[in-house]
Structures are given as structure tokens and as C-alpha cells.
Structure 1
């Protein structure tokens, strides 16, 4: 097997491929100065810690395992489409399709090319927040927020005739402040409903309001003065926090407004209001919240927590279902894999919806919707599953990096992913040579083969498990003190520490990460010898509780030069 230098490699017949099928990225064939590394076969095997055994006719929650938060859903005929937040991961705004609400296949990413957004200097948990997907008159719409992006927080709309793309360039709604916008139509009028600061001075930390404003359907700009629909939350006297994630829909002569309330941690919930007119006044339902897990024993086995931020959809046979985010912590109330997409039926009583009675746990096994069955997706998104990417064609739309590259980072050729080095992890002004897949189970094994020879101290190539810019793990080949080694580094709070290293006999090494909740083992095979580099490493620093933010762990190939 030919060995490839981390400092220099000449690519013959560079193949134009990209982070998504619609984004082409080529490596120049005569660029002898490029820092590159070759990766063969990426393998993933995951097992849920809760060991759910569904009966015939049941599906398993979550329907999208791993870092897929803030779901929004839309139905067009017999087809369902779902989109999630993606923050500064790119390609972003993953779009899924299903016909039975259970088996989901990612059909693309709505943000898949430079120029649609700019994440320069933007941290991992900023960027694209809480999208909303809708359909009208032959066109799909996604409205979302680009938080802390250059030029300030902006709310924009993109459109497409096909949800698989291509999606349009963003249209920024001038003057629209706040986050979590969604579009709602009322006859020939178009409105945007969103979270923003209340009128006047906030009375307490987390005091927010839900606003509505009419938009011009043609220009997507304000056509009327914004108006407050909800100030604070269900019971203002109790000083509710972070009313957000609003959606409005019409049923039986009422306009229903559903919102998240309580923040995104353990106090998260979903609440409901209704009105006879779209612009209010809105009154809260007699039972609120309509979904929460905050009142349950935190020591219960296999808990589902932080449930909220829902969106509703009505099936073609009249049933109502809700998708929402929640988490599955491991012991100690930690979770590394982020917030996930769950689904429950919506029950209606006396004209009000209820997702789950208070005091009940979110079930892992649920009766399937009464819809025609659909074949399982090629790569499942729920339950226990495994897959292998042989790098024998374009990367699927599930592969993501961090921030948006302006120059080529990789190519796929001859059964290998070839990375050219980018900015080091943690450099907010640059783009690291990193492309990965979401860790979708707390119990997971990820492996790849890296073929690279360091030439200078600090050159490295291997696997990275990344929670954010300041919290990640590197396992791979590097040069240290003039010697080639296989090393394990952890970066916690922006501080890098060498955990362990061993001399490398060759540049071609198989790397394996074994995660089990808050612990992990790291091993490698160099030639015919398999070595455990470190065992039972505490990786709780990759959890949301330790690292902060809103994302989950992404694992994949990475290459960097010591000169960066």
C-alpha cells in the first residue's frame, strides 16, 4: 500500500466531489504543497442504551437518533418532509422525507453551497437556529435564523420546487429581529410568527414574547406592524422563561399557537394557546404544558428529558402527530449525542390538543401512524443500526463539516477519502479539514483506516470526535519530537492534553473509538498488532452539560499541519 505524506502528496486525476452532491470540491492535481491524508472505509455501529423491543405495529423513539434538534414538519399529499437545526455545521439544514412518518431518508441539505450563509468567526452552537418548513402553491419554504453570523443576527427564507434541492439564495427579512420564525398563511395573506424581546424592558432574565407580523407574499418583507401575541408565557405572574419556537395552525375555526417554554434544559416544555383570529387575542389552554418531562423523578431508568419545541402535522386520514426534541441522558444526566427528534400522537379533547399527560414518561415504543407501510430506509435513523461507507462514490448528504470552506478540502478517489489540511480545530476564522457523521448512540464504535506519514512536528491525521470548537478528541498519527506516533489528545475547554501515545511502525493505521456513555476506549491496529492506547477515558467533557451549547458529537476524518 502506498503511503501518503501528511505534508505533501500529488493527486493524479483529481475527482470533483463535495460535501454534498450539489457542492463540488476538487483538489488540484499538481498542488504538491497541500497537506493531505488518505482515509479508507468509515464504519459505524451503534446500540441504544435503553434496549427497547417494539412489538409488531410499533415504532421506536427517537425517529431521528443523535444530533437532530428543533424539528419542523410539513405534509404535501402523501409525502412528509422534516428539517432540523444545523448551527455552524455544513452542509446545513438537513431535509428528510417519509411516507409513513416512521422511516426517514435524508434527501439533501437546504444549505449546500458557499454564498448561502457565512459562518466565519461563528461558534459551533451559533449559526442556523430552529427552521420551519412549509409548502404553498408548488413551492417549499424554509425560514430560519442565522444567529451571530457576520452582519448580525438575520432571519431569512429560502425556497425550492423540490425539497431535495436546489434551494434558492436566502432572502433576508429586513427588520425582523429575534429567533425561531415560522410562516403561516391565512387565506391570501402571509404572516411570520417569531420569538423576540417583549415590549419595553424585560422584567426578568429569560422574559421573551411571541410576535406576529404580516409579510408581502411576493417580496417576503414586512407588510404590517409587528404585534405581540404572548408576553412571557402561559402564566406571566410565574415569570416563565424563553417562550419560543412558535407555530400557528388552523383547526375547526380556531387558530392554535404552540410554543416551547422553560428553556432547552430540564425545564423544557410545550404549551398551547388559541384564538378566533390569527392576530389574537390568544388564550392559554386549560391543560398546560401539553408536553414536559420536568416533573418526573430524575433517577428514573432510561429517562427522556428536555422534551419540547414541537411542530404538528395532520395526516391524510385526519390523525394529528407531533415531532419534538428531547434527549436520552446516560447516568449522571449527561448526553454527548445532542438533542434528538421524537414523535408522539396528538390527542384532542374539548377543542384542545394534548401530546402527553403530565406525569407520564415519553414512551420509547409507540403505535405506528395509520399510514401505508414504507420500506426501511437504506441507513436507519432509529433503533440499533450499523453502516459502512466504503468511499466508493460521492459522500452522502449525512456528512458534515464545521463552518463553510472557501477552498477545496477533500476528494474521494479509488476507495478513499483524501483530506487536505485546513485550519486547526478551534480557529473560528478558518475551516478545519474535518468531515464527519453524527454519533447517534451513546454506545457506539467508529473506525477508519488512515494512511499518512507526518513530515513535521504537529502534523496529524486521524479521527476526531467533536462536540464543539473547544471540546473534542483526536486519535491518529502525528509527529512529536521528530518521531512518528499514534496519539490520543483531548481538548477540554480549549486546552489540549496528550492522553497517551505509542511509536508508529507505519503510516497506515486502523483507528477505533469505542464510546459507552461517559467513557470511551481508543485502540489502533498498526500492521498486525492491535493496541489499546487508552481505556475508560472520561469523556463527559463532550456532553452538553460540560461543553455547553446545542449541538451533539460528530465523528470523522481530520487532517492538520503543524505549521497552522
Structure 2
């Protein structure tokens, strides 16, 4: 940004490497944006980045330290398990994160001597919990296991009447097709973090189903969020699964007195009319029926996706979004996307995992109600916010955005492949807290997220560099000054090799990660490494998400 132009450029992805499932909020006390990401089995976990301009981010801290990870049973999660899809909000003056710890091996935890109360808390909550803090930087308190929670990807929402709602997605109790899910909500006490019962003419009940999918055979609702905008409550949720069919849907209900009264009103009217939606269970309710429905979708759904762009598009799997109003820069959306790497032999593969992208948001109404007769312009209500759309008219994420630094007005955008190059200096072991994004694994190695799929990794004179996808898919490259030994885990299989380091060759061993291959070279600089002759070439397709399965991206670590 310069004083003469008063413009600012934002480059996507704003957080590069494995930073999936973004959730953000305007931190009024700090006058900044705060954003949290999933971290799976990495410790420290739930990294929180802050920015006052959306373009430049710094790590403020991690909500889950080593002690919290122990209480969350992180040492006992399986590959691609751990901390899923956090939601960050301010609730009753406290910073609150709602999250799920998934794929816990509770039997292993019990065998290791974990106290039965912690194991039962995780079991009774299906791994769903709250942590809270008085400052973003911590310390964070908890976890508070949410007994009776069901599913993944929780949202926490405080409405205008002070009611607080826990909302998340679960497999449909009575599915009409494979993969159908439903979004449910229930009031929660923000002092005790216990779910609260509601009451109607038929008695006490707990969960209320809000949504069962945008259309026939809609699958895998994820990352639901509730927002109040004026007299309306909006529900936004991803659908299609966090892969190539990923998308983001919006729907809303008019609720000037609160979400709870709106639910009660619809249920009461439907009860009188005999159109009451069928509840999934006796102690639950539903507001999704054939004739009675609380939330109505935007007819332009999905409002965010790349699935229509074809497989040639570099940025895939776009979805899992969260909305934010910046007091100076206006409305923005953060979402995940996956940069696919073109390879010579295997098509496009994902090595980096899912990353954080941003886009400016406009709120719009249709200019007219089309019919056979001319009725003039649409007479919209002045207090109707309309629907969110991506600003700029491109209908997709941009590589770069140029905005007015004063008010966030979008001035220009560039659509591109979001490509760059990076250097990872792994000549000495990383340390937790040492720079951006370091996170220790249970095997004792400290890793950093691989930020680009065109990357030079500097190796130690003697030691081992690891590029890790998960416990069964890892490339290890060991140097001893005279030779390079490597081994690549491919699930149950293993490839390995050894090559001598050319005598008299000036420079040091480096790994060039490019197009799904790792070239082992000897070079005097990272810049020279790109053109240096390879002493070994390794096909590392098994390090991709498509080959390994799961949800994570590659990490780089060193054992010297």
C-alpha cells in the first residue's frame, strides 16, 4: 500500500499450506480480524492468525498447547483425525472456539491410563467441545465437553435476545439417500456449556433440525454457521463434501424477535395446520417439512464454488466458508481451496492440503420480478439485506485483489493459478514456536507446513529431512556427506534407494519439489537448485491427498 494510490493488494491464498476450514471474526477489543484453522493431529493446534487489513497476517498464537492437547486426547487420534472445523466467536464477552476432536482411539487412551472421566466426556460429546479465553493469545480454558452433541463442525451463535445456540451437522437420522446429512441446533448455556431443553405443546425436546440439504441427493453438509443481519437469521453451510463437488449454500429466515421465537412460531402454526414436519426422534423437532419450512434458500445457490470450472482449474474443492464484516473494509468471506499440482504421470494431485482464501462480498437483490406483464422495478423492502454474492462479477476466487485501502472497494482482480515458489530451510531441526507454523508430531519431529508445491528444501550436511503426508506416506531423505539414502512410504509398501554425492561438486544437498516429483540435487543456492542436474529423481505421488486419503497436506521436518 502506498500513500499516493491508497490501494492494497491481497494475494490468495492468504494462508499458504495446510490451513483448512477457516473461521474468522472481527476482534473489536484488538481492532483486528482473528482467524482460526483446523490443525488435525498437530500440536500446538488451532492456530490463530490476526490482521488489520485482511492482506497481511501474523500468528498470534495457538489455542491448543501441549497441556490442552493432552486433555483433548490428541496423542490418541488416528491419521487425519484430531481438531476439525473450529468456529471462533465472541460470546458474552469471552473468546470462544467450538470444535470437534475426531477419530480418537478411546481404547488406546484407556490402555495408556487416561482418566475415565476424560474418556467418558469425549465419548458422550462425540468429541465436541468448547474452549474459552479472555484474550486471543490465551491462556485458553477447557475443554468443556458438550454432552449430547452429535456430529461434527459445530457453530456457536449468540442471538439478539441473548440466547446462545450450538449448531452442527450430523448424518441424517432417516436418510432418503446415501450421504444425506442434517443441520441441527439447540440452545446452550454459555456459563456451564450444557445443552438446554426447550418446551412446546408436546413436551420437552432437545435438538431442532434446521436443514436437510439444498436439493435431491445433496450430501455432506459441513461447516454450518448462523448469522444475524438485521431482522434476518442466515444459515450458511457447505455441501457436496470437501472435495471436487464442494460448494457453499445460503438460506435465511425472518426472525425479528430471535431464532427461538421464529422456531416456536413455525412449529405452532404447523401444528394447527396439520403440516408439522416429522421429527427425526421423539425428543427432537424439525422445521424442514414438505409444507412448513423455516429457512428458505437463495435461489442462486451455490453462491460459492469452483466445481463448475472443470478439472483443468487449478484451485479446486472450494467451500467451507465463513462471513465477516470489517468495520472499514466491509463484507468478506474466507473459505478453503485446494491448489492441484499438475503431474506428468498421474494427472493433477493435491500435496498442499486445503488452504485459506478470501473474497469480497456484496449483498444484492434482484432488480425486477420477471413475469409476462411489465410490473416495473422490484419493490424490495428497505431493511431486507438481500443475499451474499462474490463481488466483482467473476463468480469465483481471484488470485489477486486490488482494493481501496480506505473502504475496501474492489478496484481490480486477477484470475490466475495462484502459483509461487518457496524455500524451506531444514538444515537444522525446527523448534515449536520457531517462526510461522511450526508444530510437533507425536514421533518427536517438528514440522512446518509446506507452503508451495514448487519448493526447494535445504538439507543438513548430516541428518534426515522428512516430507510427511501421514504416518504411512512419508519421504525420508538422509545425508551423511558422501551419499543420499531415501525411503518413501506408500501405505503398506515402501520404495527406497541410495546414490553417492558427486565428489568435488561444490554446494550442498537440496530437494526440489516440483510437478509431483522430488529431484535430489547438489547446488550452491536455492536459486541454482532449480536448474542443477539431479542425482536422483523420486516420484512422490503417494504424498498426495488423492493417494493417501485423509484431509491433510504435506509437512517438512528435519532430524539432524
Q: TM-score w.r.t. structure 1 length?
A: 0.73
Q: In the alignment, what sits opposite 2:306?
A: 293
1:437 corresponds to 2:448 = yes
CA RMSD after TM alignment? 3.0
Q: In the alignment, what sits opposite 2:331?
A: 320
Q: In the alignment, what sits opposite 2:26?
A: 75
Equivalent in 389, 400, 405 of residue 439 of structure 2:
400
Q: Contact between 2:7 and 2:404, CA under 8 Å: does it hold in 1?
A: no
Q: Contact between 1:312 and 1:322, CA under 8 Å: does it hold in 2?
A: yes
Equivalent in 130, 154, 159 of residue 181 of structure 1:
154
Distance 2:241 2:62 in 1: 27
Q: Which runs of 5+ in 2 are unaligned?
A: 1-5, 107-118, 198-205, 264-293, 366-385, 409-417
> Map of 1:33-182 to 2, 5 A cutoff?
57-77=8-28, 78-114=31-67, 115-149=70-104, 150=106, 151=119, 152=123, 153-182=126-155
Q: How far apart are residue 450 of structure 1 and its match?
A: 5.1
Q: Which runs of 5+ in 1 are unaligned?
A: 1-54, 374-380, 403-430, 452-460, 560-564
Q: How far apart are residue 175 of structure 1 and its match?
A: 1.1
Q: 1:534 to 1:385 in 2, by over 3 A?
A: closer
Q: In the alignment, what sits opposite 1:539?
A: 540
Q: 1:356 to 1:147 in 2, by over 3 A?
A: farther
Give 3-state SS (helix, strand or coil) of 1:125's partner: strand
Deviations 1:45-94, CA, capped at 9 Å, x for gaps: xxxxxxxxxx9632111111111000000102221100000111111101
Deviations 1:263-290, CA, capped at 9 Å, x for gaps: 0111000000101232551111121000
Q: Which has the higher contact order (CA 8 A, sep 6+)?
A: 1
Distance 1:353 1:392 in 2: 42
> Map of 1:192-231 to 2, 5 A cutoff?
192-199=166-173, 201-224=174-197, 225-231=206-212
Q: How far apart are residue 318 of structure 1 and its match?
A: 6.8
Distance 1:318 1:514 in 2: 39
Distance 2:164 2:95 in 1: 14
Distance 2:85 2:164 in 1: 19
Distance 2:310 2:430 in 1: 48
Q: How far apart are residue 395 of structure 1 and its match?
A: 2.1
Give 3-state SS (helix, strand or coil) of 1:541's partner: helix
Distance 1:142 1:549 in 2: 23
Q: Contact between 2:21 and 2:37, CA under 8 Å: does it hold in 1?
A: yes
Give 3-state SS (helix, strand or coil) of 2:520's partner: strand
Deviating 4+ runs (over 6 angstroms): 356-359, 389-393, 530-533
Distance 1:496 1:262 in 2: 34
User: What is the number of equivalent residue pairs in this alignment?
Assistant: 445
Give 3-state SS (helix, strand or coil) of 1:545's partner: helix
Deviations 1:155-174, CA, capped at 9 Å, x for gaps: 11111122122211311111
Q: 1:124 to 1:391 in 2, by over 3 A?
A: closer
Larger helix share, 1 or 2: 2
Deviations 1:435-484, CA, capped at 9 Å, x for gaps: 11111111001114254xxxxxxxxx4110001111110011489xxxx9
1:271 corresponds to 2:249 = yes
Structure showing greater radius of gyration is 2
Distance 2:392 2:248 in 1: 12
Distance 1:329 1:462 in 2: 27
Question: Comparing 174-183 with 492-501, which one deviates more in the overlay?
Answer: 492-501
Equivalent in 189, 209, 234 of residue 214 of structure 2:
234
> Map of 1:453-472 to 2, 5 A cutoff?
461-472=463-474
